Amino acid sequence: MNARRWFSDPVVAVALVVDAVLAVDAERLDRVEPRLAALAEFRRLPDFDALAAANKRIANILRKSAVDPDAPAGCPVAPERFVEPAEIALHRALEAATPVVEANLARLDFSAGLRSLATLRAPVDAFFDTVMVNSPDPLLKSNRLALLGGLALQMNRVADLSRL
């Protein structure tokens, strides 16, 4: 479903957005409203649809890899193992964006945290256009899954975007 399409039905929109926010931080109800406002602002960005779709794709890949007995869980990223320019670029972009996201969220500036993720659209698109995550090389595959895991972690700090 197109991410913008679900916003056309107000009841569905509210339910999905609240669910996405509560999936991340259900214990802090005082932060639900600012997270909802940040998500409403983020969805107006031109990069929202692509990032929401990428996030859903990442969630599906990671979910499927969890049942793969050859996929090591929780492996750290080993940048020296990347071979494709797009995975190197995504790793660098994620490394650059992470402290910005962290700083914004530390100040509880959820909108700025989400906006800083928009810088990842081009490297995420390039990664999915040119990199085969499920490489036959298990080390390469686990490293790519670790990269996507780190990306998912950052993308879902304000709300679980894969639920949208």
pLDDT in tens, 86-133: 999 999 999 999 999 999 989 999 899 888 888 899 999 999 999 999
Which amino acid, residue 43? R
Which 3 state secondary structure label does DSSP give 153? helix
Residue bearing tokens 């793969």: 68
pTM for the model = 0.81
pLDDT in tens, 32-88: 788 888 888 888 888 888 888 888 899 889 888 874 444 445 578 999 999 999 999
- Label residue 135 by pLDDT band (50, 70, 90): very high
Residues 38/21, Cβ–Cβ less than 8 Å: no
In the chain, where the domains are located = 5-163
